[in-house]
Amino acid sequence: MTNSTKIVIVGAGPAGLACAIVLARAGRQVIVREWKDCVGHRFHDDFQGLESWTRELDVLEELAAAGITADFDHHPFERGTVFDPSGHRYAVKGLRPLFYLLRRGPGQGTLDSALLAQARAAGVEIRFGDWVKTFADAGVLAAGPREAGVIAAGHVFETDMPDGAWLALGHEVAPGGYAYLLVQAA
Ligand SMILES: Cc1cc2nc3c(=O)[nH]c(=O)nc-3n(C[C@H](O)[C@H](O)[C@H](O)COP(=O)(O)OP(=O)(O)OC[C@H]3O[C@@H](n4cnc5c(N)ncnc54)[C@H](O)[C@@H]3O)c2cc1C
């Protein structure tokens, strides 16, 4: 692949768009092919946590180092509560944010729409409604997980609870995985 070859990326999820931004800013011509007609199509302003607790660098600094601006709505969480399988609760606190609460979906202020705007500003061509059947080109396959290893379901609802983050581990609550509740005032 020469430097003038267009790079095709399959999938306009966070991985595909982040990759597209980095490559386009490095001077490459990039096309993102996305099956659906918008970004974040699986989500409807759902909260997700952008994890930072396992990293040496804060995740936003890591993104900035890759040329990705955190111009999506985000909110740092330094503390939370974890329940073990016996129901014991543990307060968890970090010296810096454990994660950033953000929103997913095609709407304004979400991670997905911010990455889309940055990709377009960097000159990336995005083709929506473009189902890639076979992928023989040199390029990047960022089509997301093929099969869910667990059942992942999210629910968004209004509550008058205080802001906070709660995580529960254990077979009864979340067989083979975890369940979490994230509350943030609108
Ligand atoms: C309910 C729920 C809660 C979650 N909570 C969190 C959380 O709090 N924190 C966290 O970090 N992660 C969370 N996740 C996981 C997170 O959403 C995914 O890890 C992330 O979206 C993966 O990004 P990706 O770009 O790899 O793939 P995806 O977001 O799956 O994007 C892949 C894209 O490729 C497109 N595509 C697929 N096949 C083709 C094809 N053949 N041709 C063209 N386009 C194609 C798809 O339409 C899709 O837009 C959660 C997931 C769910 C379902």
State whether the beta carbon of 33 lies less than 6 angstroms from ligand 1.
yes
Q: Which atom of ligand 1 is nearest to the CA of 182?
A: 8
State whether the beta carbon of 51 lies less than 6 angstroms from ligand 1.
yes
pTM of the model: 0.91
Give the C-alpha separation, 147 to 133, whole Å.
17
Region 122-129: mean pLDDT is 98
C-alpha of residue 125 to centroid of ligand 1, in Å: 20
Would you place residue 150 in the very low, low, confident or very high pLDDT band (cuts 50, 70, 90)? low
The answer to whether residue 136 scores a pLDDT higher than 80 is: no
Residue 139 near residue 9 (C-beta atoms within 8 A) = yes
Region 135-142: mean pLDDT is 84
* Residues ≥6 apart with Cβ < 8 Å to 90: 81, 82, 83, 84
Q: Hey, which residues does 92 pair with through a beta bridge?
A: 80
Q: Tell the residue nearest (CA) to atom 3 of ligand 1.
A: 154
The answer to whether residue 137 scores a pLDDT higher than 70 is: no
Give the C-alpha separation, 144 to 174, whole Å.
22
64-83 pLDDT per residue, tens: 999 999 999 999 999 999 99
The answer to whether residue 168 scores a pLDDT higher than 80 is: yes
Q: Tell the residue nearest (CA) to atom 4 of ligand 1.
A: 48
Confidence at residue 110, expressed as pLDDT on a 0 to 100 scale? 98
Q: Tally DSSP H helices, then E strands, for the chain.
A: 3, 11
- Find tokens 């968004």 and name the residue: 156
Residue 59 near residue 72 (C-beta atoms within 8 A) = no
Q: Tell the residue nearest (CA) to atom 15 of ligand 1.
A: 48
Question: Which of 48, 141, 181 for a ligand 1 pocket mutation test, highest count of atoms within 8 Å of Cβ?
Answer: 48
Mean of the per-residue pLDDT values of the chain = 91
C-alpha of residue 13 to centroid of ligand 1, in Å: 6
The answer to whether residue 3 scores a pLDDT higher than 80 is: no
